[in-house]
Structure 1
């Protein structure tokens, strides 16, 4: 199913949801004109369950219109972060919670991150997950 004209989308699971590892990629393919996207990978915003963190990896479709992106409760590595930035050429704001290892960032990735006006990455400690920060929009 495709939604080529959809510009704003928020996806939040219900209790008992089983995630597809490629949820983010699937949404990008189905909604190529998104300007704002918020994906919540956690089932319960009040609690943090490390076993439910979904990794962002693999090929990400180019999102030519995407300006605001929130990925809540995901696992991200340097390859995934680079793919998000590379395939979001007009990305202005990126807010990610979950897990990210800052030690994986090289100078090239830091330069890519500098292109995004407003960026928040998760703390190195996955227990620092903060589900109640205000949304980007």
Structure 2
């Protein structure tokens, strides 16, 4: 079974939040590894917005599990592909919901960032088959 989530954010919202709350906002939303990654990039605010949007998309795809922002970490591999890393607490909750995998795709422009999350779940037989609608 597959669930999806999508999110769009204006980059300016992230910029305003940082101006208003500074490091408190950054530390509440992003992990140290995410912040280190983004600091190494040319488009700082755009990359932050993309990660924020990816986390929102994951929240929407997994449903109400009462996770917090730091339970989900969005990092890129050596080839630039975004990957989802989860806290121990999040892994335990997702395991109970039979979620096997989370994939994300994200992109940004100067004005907007958008992300989509795809969640693969086991069915009642322990399979994670893709089902097509009739």
TM-score, shorter chain, exceeding 0.5 = no
Q: Larger Cα Rg: Structure 1 or Structure 2?
A: 2
Higher strand share: 2
TM normalised by structure 1 equals 0.24
TM normalised by structure 2 equals 0.24
